[in-house]
Amino acid sequence: MSSAANRAAALFKSEFGGEGRGFFAPGRVNLIGEHIDYNGGRVMPCSLSIGTYAAARRADGRIRLVSADLPGQNAEVALDELSSLPLTPGAFRRFGWAAYPLGVAAQLIIRGYPVGGFDMAVCGDLPRGSGLSSSASLEVLTCAVLDGLYGPWLDGRQAAEVSLAAEHECAGVNCGIMDQFVCAAGVKGHALLLDTHTLDFEYEPFDLDGDVLLIMNTKKPRKLTDSKYNERRGECDEALAAINSVLETPRDALCAVTLGELDACRAVLSPVLFRRARHAVTENERTLAAAQALRRGDNAELGRLLTASHDSLRYDYEVTGGHLDAIVDAALMQEGVLGARMTGAGFGGCAIALCRADRAGDVSRETARVYLEKTGIKCEIIPVQTGSSPFGKA
């Protein structure tokens, strides 16, 4: 058992007495398809072997939640009270971290699932604030716990939709569905190619054959991310409205516009909105090309696409920032690196680099050294290990 799983089990015992049943939901890393899950684009994330663990048990009429990562920040609420709360961030704010699991329970209740009370102790092993989706992991974990204790009711897509509703309505973060989807439906040894417009998905065998993917954590705290995130979403909506004012057949998502059509609409877009839209359109194409490269084992092409994605996020979408650029540039200088890019929302958090397995040690050391010299921050570099999600089926 992992040490986080042990800590969850031990905390359960000391807080509630006896044994809880064990559950796990992974974190995620996105290979490619960034900032397009809210533009109807294709994304290709992987579920990780690290994530969030729970020990949980049915209880009568109330929910009690404790976290080994946030000692003392316990939450307790009667099921009746939870059922009567409005589904707004304002109503859930007082629960702190527990707004995520309570938001999921409330979303299941409102959908008519016969949710009962429960006690749950959680513990995570995702590096904190790293942008590897600790909140989606916790939401999906709660779906798995309630589905396991009172269900079964849910498949991966339903668990993702319930988790996303909790994130939007109870936590107040207006994200796309990528993180919740892959944390719910990812499968070990595979990337998940998801069409965020239709929610159709395929599992792509994630076999890098002699190469490895490194996760490089900049350790740069992410402060402005949320406001910039919403700002980018707003810019994409504005760009789509302007494009639709010109196109004969309006589109319901930015990624449904072709590059040719976008060029033809240049006159109605400000230079900034044009670049935002160009990122969305080209990133969608890169994701499909990357899935094909992965399928035919063309890692050189996959690496090229990763770096092109970073450049687009850096210059067109402007969500990288100095720390992510520094770590990606440092990695790209190293022999044996095929490509590198930021991953997740940006402005801090993690980047990834694809590199020859026999070079991974030197690449990690040298990248960390150059990054430290440039930023004064010690980064952390680990190889990606994929893991399975509670609702994933290959």
* Residues assigned a catalytic role: 179
> Which residue stretch of 70-78, 115-123, 175-183, 284-292 sits at the interface with ligand GLA (rule: CB under 6 A)?
175-183
Residues 326-345 that bind ligand GLA (CB under 6 A): 344-345
Q: Alpha-carbon distance 310 to 318, whole Å?
A: 10
Q: What angle do CA 208, 356, 130 make, to 5 degrees?
A: 75
Residues 6+ apart with CB under 8 A from 272: 235
Least Cβ distance, residue 63 to ligand GLA (angstroms): 25
Asked if residue 179 binds ligand GLA (CB under 6 A), the reply is yes
Least Cβ distance, residue 232 to ligand GLA (angstroms): 9
Residue 241: CB atoms within 10 A of its CB come to 12
Residue type, 60: D
For residue 218, give the 3-state DSSP assignment.
coil
Nearer to ligand GLA among residue 175 and residue 379 (C-beta): 175
Least Cβ distance, residue 44 to ligand GLA (angstroms): 11
Residue 193: CB atoms within 10 A of its CB come to 23
Calculate the CA 239 to chain-centre distance: 25
Nearest to 44 by CA among 155, 228, 191: 191
Nearer to ligand GLA among residue 44 and residue 82 (C-beta): 44
CA distances from 178 to 43, 58, 213 (A): 7, 30, 20
Least Cβ distance, residue 220 to ligand GLA (angstroms): 16
Size of the site for ligand GLA (CB under 6 A): 11
Residue 211, Ramachandran bin (φ over 0: left; ψ between -120 and 50: alpha; else beta): beta
> Exactly one of 55, 79, 123, 175 binds ligand GLA (CB under 6 A); which one?
175
Least Cβ distance, residue 343 to ligand GLA (angstroms): 8
Nearer to ligand GLA among residue 9 and residue 32 (C-beta): 32
Per-residue x/- mask for ligand GLA, residues 123 to 162, rule CB under 6 A?
A: ----------------------------------------
> Which residue stretch of 122-130, 171-179, 352-360, 364-372 sits at the interface with ligand GLA (rule: CB under 6 A)?
171-179
Least Cβ distance, residue 178 to ligand GLA (angstroms): 5
Nearer to ligand GLA among residue 37 and residue 211 (C-beta): 37
For residue 101, give the 3-state DSSP assignment.
helix
Nearest to 30 by CA among 40, 42, 38, 18: 42
> Exactly one of 26, 27, 176, 387 binds ligand GLA (CB under 6 A); which one?
176
Per DSSP, the residues of 134-181 read: HHHHHHHHHHHHHHHHH-----HHHHHHHHHHIIIIII-----SHHHH
Tell me which residue has tokens 């994130």.
167
Least Cβ distance, residue 173 to ligand GLA (angstroms): 7
**Quick check: 44 and 30 in contact, CB under 8 A?**
yes
Nearer to ligand GLA among residue 130 and residue 334 (C-beta): 130
Per-residue x/- mask for ligand GLA, residues 13 to 52, rule CB under 6 A?
A: -----------------x---xx-xx--------------
Q: Which two structure tokens, joined as six digits, stand for 146?
A: 């309630």
Per-residue x/- mask for ligand GLA, residues 343 to 372, rule CB under 6 A?
A: -xx---------------------------
Nearer to ligand GLA among residue 117 and residue 176 (C-beta): 176
Nearer to ligand GLA among residue 77 and residue 215 (C-beta): 215
| Strand pairing report for 201-205 and 75-78 | unpaired
Run of H or E including 31: strand 21-32
> Which residue stretch of 79-87, 174-182, 282-290, 322-330 sits at the interface with ligand GLA (rule: CB under 6 A)?
174-182
Q: Alpha-carbon distance 30 to 278, whole Å?
A: 20
Q: Which residues are near ligand GLA by CB under 6 A?
A: 30, 34-35, 37-38, 175-176, 178-179, 344-345
